Structure 1
Amino acid sequence: MAEGFDFAAHAKRMRAEGWWQDKTLDDLLEAAIARNPDKKALVAYRMDKGFDAPAKVMTYRELGDAVAKAAGSFRAMGIGKGDIVALMLPNWWEFVVSAYALARIGAVCNPLMHIFRERELRFMLGFADTKAILIPKTFRGHDFERMLDGLKPELPKLQHIIVVDGEAARSFDGLVMNSGATAVPASAGTPQAPDELAVLMYTSGTTGEPKGVMHAFNTLVACAKALGTRLGHGNDVIHFGSTPFGHMTGYAAVMVQALYHGNTVVFPDIWEPKAGVAIMAREGITHMAAATPFLADIVRLIEEGAQKAPLATFLCAGAPIPPVIIENARKLLGLNVSSCWGMTESLGGSLTEPERASVKSVSSDGRPVDGVEVLIADENLEPLPAGQTGRLYFRGAQQFLGYYRKPGLDGRGSEGWFDSGDLAYMDEQGYIRIDGRTKDIIIRGGENVPVVEIESILYRHPRVADAAVVGYPDQRMGERGCAFVVLKDGGAFTLDELRRWMEKSGAAKQYWPEAVEVLDAMPRTASGKIQKFVLREKAAKYADA
């Protein structure tokens, strides 16, 4: 914990105010089984099995039995309380079973995105002294088993490589589901205490420096309760899990939230828009939590005549939602899209309630959810008036425990405020709007460029599908702006065309980008956030132009 941050006092306050319930994932699972044992818990689709029918369906009773088996097998391998186990799996049923089984025996679950390769894994697994890792044999053409075998000599603490679809001694089926080990029911579990480290999740890397974010059952359950309450969810929701479980949106806002309410969660292992929309209609999906590109795909396909699911709520996070997508979702689906702000450290920090989404999702990223406080202030924590942009700080029930093996790095003082790194302003009604990142500020000739506003202007260009603006060094002006665009129709996008559009928009000339580059796709994190550090590296060449 950071120097000056009193975790014990924080925990006492969270319990006294009712935000922390001291429930483990086992408590949620057992409650769901008791309420409705024969209800579908998960419906899993796999690309290699074909998307016309699920590859696996489990009721809550069956999920409970599988978790007990897996917990026994992990325990028999010598995995126990406090051991870190990485789950580097796509959205497969094996991920869900393993995550809950590890929670039961007190191991720390470390979900990892399946896009990571040797460079990231060498650091992440070594830094955490990871004891075991679960991987696919192959996925999307990549041989994960060969990759881990190559890394194993550099990871002396890594004792077990467990391979889904693997063979013989390493196979998930043999080692975990059919090992013959004594099953561990919930009554024999040894979970971490609800306020101890239970899940380790590396930051998604918009700055290029991943850190191990520590969460407890209490923070995860607080997130599930807060999001469900704001969205009006009960036990009849059918979730669509297109967002990877290896990212906190998929893990907390989909997997754990569905468990909290005893809901059904349907998930494909990849997002293929046509197949995904068809699955949603077939399975009767009523809720989805995902980034803007997923929503854009759905709206486009429905507009083209695809069958629509009975979507009632949609939590959209990771990037601003273009107004045209919000409007089309309402027209075509009767859906009010709820804008959301969050990060690995904060989980779901703010969310627009569905009944106000038609107005507020266009202009804001929601208001703080129950148990979360936000503060718009300067760097000295002096609050700023409504409408004025400042640093976004947060604290509360979903706040992370700290960074793994880096005490004090989070910078929280005695009052517990964490600097999110985002710039934002708040309106008179308490809704916040992300207005950039502290590291994304462009200061051109002493003038702060409103980056988000310029990006919004670019996005409205009829040829532009995606846009981002970053700064590059300039001897005379300090910085200048470079626009990166993804086009709907391919081809070129000249600086002259950009200037004509900026002039038409009425934006001040000193805010206009002075370089432009076309990309095939924006570099994004799994949650949909643009990795601007990658763009800044690309833009650096214009400093010498």
Structure 2
Amino acid sequence: MNFDAVLIPARREESIAKGWWHDRTINDELDAAARDFPDKIALTAVRVENGDTRRFTYAELARLADRIAVGLHRLGVRKNDVVAMQLPNWWEFTLTYLACSRIGAVVNPLMHIFRERELSFMLAHGEAKVVIVPKVFRRFDFEQMLTSLKPDLPALRHIIVVGGEGDNSYEALLTRPEWETKTNAAQILSENRPGPDDVTQLMYTSGTTGEPKGVMHTANTVFANIIPYAQRLHLGQDDVVLMASPMAHQTGFMYGLIMPVLLRATAVLQDVWEATKAVELIRAEQASFTMASTPFLTDLSRKVEELGQDVPSLKTFLCAGAPIPGPLVEQAQNTLGVKIISAWGMTENGAVTLIRPEDPDELAVTTDGIPLPGVEIQTVDINGEPLHPGEQGRLLVRSASNFGGYLKRPALNSTDEHGWFDTGDLAIINAQGYLRITGRSKDVIIRGGENIPVVEVETLLYRHPAVALAAIVAYPDERLGERACAVVVPKEGQSIDFDSMVEFLKSQKLALQYIPEKLIVRAAMPATPSGKIQKFKLREIIHQELGQQA
């Protein structure tokens, strides 16, 4: 595979000179951790469904990474070959990435919720040579699915099955034989290591726009984000990071897999989200930091209150992916006793903005934070002209952690000659430099020439006592061009109708022209694995419902 990471060379000189790129790889970090902290627990992986718990010291992590790397090499995996893995937060996920890094292979994490439609595109586009799957997870047979897809994937040589029963099992091929002791192991492990500017991760965008693109990252781009992120949050080697967000998403991958190794800290992986289990793990493992979307925070806060079991070790909960309702921050602080950090980022950049732990709590509700070191942000108008503080416009990011480009689609890289990446988001930056995402550029609703402040209306709906989730999307109107429709998921045991929604929004003093003119109540929202509501799917749902009504 030839990786067209065209955005890397142009940034190298400046990024090195300013100290943003460190020219180190995960191999350097793992080797140093194994040397300096050989007996420290690096990883604890918990399978919720069967209670299995595995622990690895840094020395064991390095040794097993070598073993799996040589095993992959024996299967024909070479530098720049793509190894896809559709795994939950299991230890095999972490070890496979570390192993691939030993021999220069590129890891392509795939969410376990993906099925034939998504996988057939991604595995073909990325030309995966190997795909690693669970035999069964959440009662679904992944081996059977991949076997049915293989005839149409000419690049795919091997399907490796974690927990498999045949010769293609992960255990038989990669972890049981002591490959690291073979005579040619040292040569394999030393000759093929990637450099800091080599592509090591291929991750497909989660699809809020409906079209997945293969995001390419290197050690330099990833580390340029993780290091200032950890510094901003005052994280270090004494921290224990609980990761229940999927590691096949950038949140889990960067901050649950790579960051603990860089910090010489301990990672605790939870494969299935259950709030009761999360409380148990935080208490038992003394977890001090976690990062997830707002539903996780809601569940954890409620469960701690319900169980009456405090989580005193947990100091920080970072929330990203959607605005954090003010009542939730207050409840979480009262029940969990943690600092709630709001943040915003993308697969293409990692975290871009975070509030600081020293900031007032209200900023977690009203902003998405300020840029990390090595990151610049600006808003521009429709003509690309910079806007003043407080004005809404298209959000551009110029960052040391910006990706290397979209695989085989450089025309879609959305990055100008000055390094500014068009995020596709609308935002406001205040006079103090704090960001507030106000919507996707495609999510703008223009009703009779008037822009509807989508995020403001959604925020008000979240204040309604019966509303659990809310989204505002456009539907076509012959006279006004567009009108607004509210899609709402009510809280358990609660209900909401159109008239009560209108009365509530009026009571909040919302301008009448901003009040949605339709309401759809649903049991659940279409969402990405990280919890972001997929508005393109909501627009499809509304179109279907309106068509049926017509």
Shorter-chain TM-score above 0.5: yes
- Deviation at residue 499 of structure 1 after TM alignment: 1.0
Q: Identify the range of structure 1 (397-406 vs 295-304) with the bigger mean alpha-carbon deviation.
A: 295-304
Matched length: 542
- Deviation at residue 141 of structure 1 after TM alignment: 0.9
Residue 128 (structure 2) aligned to one of 127, 130, 150: 130
- Deviation at residue 334 of structure 1 after TM alignment: 2.4
**C-alpha spacing 1:404/1:443, structure 2 compared with 1 (3 Å):** same
SS at the partner of 2:427? strand
User: For residue 15 of structure 2, what is the aligned residue in structure 1?
Assistant: 14
SS at the partner of 1:168? coil
- Deviation at residue 523 of structure 1 after TM alignment: 1.2
Alignment of 1:339-350 (within 5 A): 339-350=342-353
Q: Deviations over 1:257-288 (max 9, x none)?
A: 11110110111111011112211111111000
Alignment of 1:442-453 (within 5 A): 442-453=445-456
Q: Is the 8 A contact 2:251 2:291 kept in 1?
A: yes
1:362 aligns with 2:360: no
Residue 260 (structure 1) aligned to one of 259, 262, 285: 262
- For 1:240 and 1:10, the matched residues in 2 are separated by 33
User: For residue 407 of structure 2, what is the aligned residue in structure 1?
Assistant: 404
User: For residue 96 of structure 2, what is the aligned residue in structure 1?
Assistant: 98
User: For residue 382 of structure 1, what is the aligned residue in structure 2?
Assistant: 385
Return the letter of the residue paired with 2:232.
R
SS at the partner of 1:387? coil
1:413 aligns with 2:416: yes
Return the letter of the residue paired with 2:369.
G
- Deviation at residue 213 of structure 1 after TM alignment: 0.4
User: For residue 54 of structure 2, what is the aligned residue in structure 1?
Assistant: 56
User: For residue 23 of structure 1, what is the aligned residue in structure 2?
Assistant: 24
- Deviation at residue 180 of structure 1 after TM alignment: 4.4
Return the letter of the residue paired with 1:508.
A
Runs of 5+ consecutive residues of structure 2 not aligned to the other structure:
none
**C-alpha spacing 1:144/1:357, structure 2 compared with 1 (3 Å):** farther
Return the letter of the residue paired with 1:406.
R
User: For residue 486 of structure 2, what is the aligned residue in structure 1?
Assistant: 483
User: For residue 542 of structure 1, what is the aligned residue in structure 2?
Assistant: 546
- For 2:7 and 2:496, the matched residues in 1 are separated by 53
Q: Deviations over 1:21-41 (max 9, x none)?
A: 011111111121122111111
- Deviation at residue 190 of structure 1 after TM alignment: 1.9
- For 2:178 and 2:465, the matched residues in 1 are separated by 61
Q: Is the 8 A contact 2:34 2:59 kept in 1?
A: yes
- For 1:390 and 1:332, the matched residues in 2 are separated by 37
Return the letter of the residue paired with 1:17.
K
Q: Is the 8 A contact 2:66 2:99 kept in 1?
A: yes
- For 2:180 and 2:38, the matched residues in 1 are separated by 22
Alignment of 1:281-360 (within 5 A): 281-309=283-311, 310-360=313-363
SS at the partner of 1:452? helix
**C-alpha spacing 1:31/1:189, structure 2 compared with 1 (3 Å):** farther
Residue 204 (structure 1) aligned to one of 200, 203, 206: 206
- For 2:44 and 2:24, the matched residues in 1 are separated by 25
- For 2:77 and 2:189, the matched residues in 1 are separated by 18
Q: Is the 8 A contact 2:466 2:495 kept in 1?
A: no
What is the percentage of aligned positions where both structures have the same residue?
46
- For 1:359 and 1:510, the matched residues in 2 are separated by 28
Runs of 5+ consecutive residues of structure 1 not aligned to the other structure:
none
Alignment of 1:52-131 (within 5 A): 54-131=52-129
SS at the partner of 2:389? coil
Alignment of 1:162-173 (within 5 A): 162-173=160-171
Q: CA RMSD in A?
A: 1.9
Alignment of 1:29-44 (within 5 A): 29-44=30-45
- For 1:127 and 1:206, the matched residues in 2 are separated by 19
- Deviation at residue 47 of structure 1 after TM alignment: 2.3
User: For residue 228 of structure 1, what is the aligned residue in structure 2?
Assistant: 230
Q: Is the 8 A contact 1:24 1:191 kept in 2?
A: no
- For 1:463 and 1:359, the matched residues in 2 are separated by 23
SS at the partner of 2:179? coil
Return the letter of the residue paired with 1:467.
A
- For 2:191 and 2:487, the matched residues in 1 are separated by 51
Q: Is the 8 A contact 1:470 1:483 kept in 2?
A: yes
- Deviation at residue 9 of structure 1 after TM alignment: 3.2
1:371 aligns with 2:369: no
- Deviation at residue 307 of structure 1 after TM alignment: 1.8
Q: Deviations over 1:218-255 (max 9, x none)?
A: 11111210110100111101000101110001001221
- Deviation at residue 325 of structure 1 after TM alignment: 1.3
SS at the partner of 1:354? coil
- For 1:151 and 1:56, the matched residues in 2 are separated by 32
- For 2:282 and 2:460, the matched residues in 1 are separated by 33
SS at the partner of 1:132? strand
